[in-house]
Amino acid sequence: MREPVVVGNWKMHTTLVEARALAEGVRDGCRGLTGVRVVLCPPFTALGAVSQVLAGSAIQAGAQDCHWATQGAYTGAVSPAQIVDAGARTVIVGHSERRAIFGETDEMVGQKVAAALAAGLVPLVCVGETGAERAAGRTNAVVERQVRAALQDRSAEEIGRAWLAYEPVWAIGTWQAATPAQAAEVHARLREIVAELATSSVAQRCPILYGGSLKPDSAPALFAEADVDGGLVGGASLKAVDFVEIVRAAPSAKGRTGSPIH
């Protein structure tokens, strides 16, 4: 049975002081919780500090993006090795904001996935359609293209170390989450594609998270879907109480509530 995963994406928010306080709030709020993996992705400026706050807890730090090169003349970029050095174990790759605002292509996402895996990071690969693409009936075609581009050159063993997030672009930051049925349909298709690219046992183990306006009230029904293995949370991850409530909904929805992790 897959352990659910809940990831907080803080985007370009928090000063160092705010980041430490938020990480402490989540760490303390999750004390005593089992049956769920939790990752916090602060901005790069706070990654080292947040890693220190989380040290000794079951919560891990992650990064929001990486470059594909190991080092070099790439002003402003951060390599997977530098992310590992800062204490992170996971990196978000291919977020729709990176694709739309920074011009990241499917090919770049594939290169980032390869580089992250080579550095020992878990790449959390984001895919999702725009509202126009959904209206045109192209949802499955779009997410399929994005997942194949991200994973097709990777071995089954490598794909077995990746996580996926289905993040419909129209649901991000809009307070309009996908319905559980909409998410379930796409997640099931994503799992089929992972099985085609790797093996069915890799696909059965692969965490596929839902992201897009997840809130404490929308999370339980989404997490109750069999192929929804937790969530990638943006806005609601900036308030420790809301994020912790979403985290707690994941093991509850899967019948996994348990004993303390500390």
- Where along the sequence are the contacts to ligand PEP (CB under 6 A)? 9, 167, 172-173, 211-214, 232-236
Q: Which is nearer to ligand PEP, 46 or 172 (CB)?
A: 172
Min dist. Cβ of residue 102 to ligand PEP (A): 14
Q: Which is nearer to ligand PEP, 202 or 207 (CB)?
A: 207
Q: How many CB atoms lie within 10 A of CB 68?
A: 20
Q: Report the number of secondary-structure helices (H) and strands (E) in the chain.
A: 12, 8
Q: Which is nearer to ligand PEP, 9 or 51 (CB)?
A: 9
Nearest alpha carbon to residue 194 among 169, 222, 164: 164
Only one residue has tokens 């409530």, namely 245
Residues acting as catalytic residues: 95, 167
Would you state the structure tokens that stand for residue 135, as one six-digit string? 């209206």
* Residue number closest to ligand PEP, CB atom: 234
Min dist. Cβ of residue 216 to ligand PEP (A): 12
**Dihedral, 178, 149, 111, 45 alpha carbons, nearest 10:** 0
Half-sphere exposure of 161 (CA within 13 A, CB side): 18
Q: Which is nearer to ligand PEP, 74 or 175 (CB)?
A: 175
Min dist. Cβ of residue 63 to ligand PEP (A): 14
Beta strands per DSSP E along 167-216: 208-211
Min dist. Cβ of residue 261 to ligand PEP (A): 24
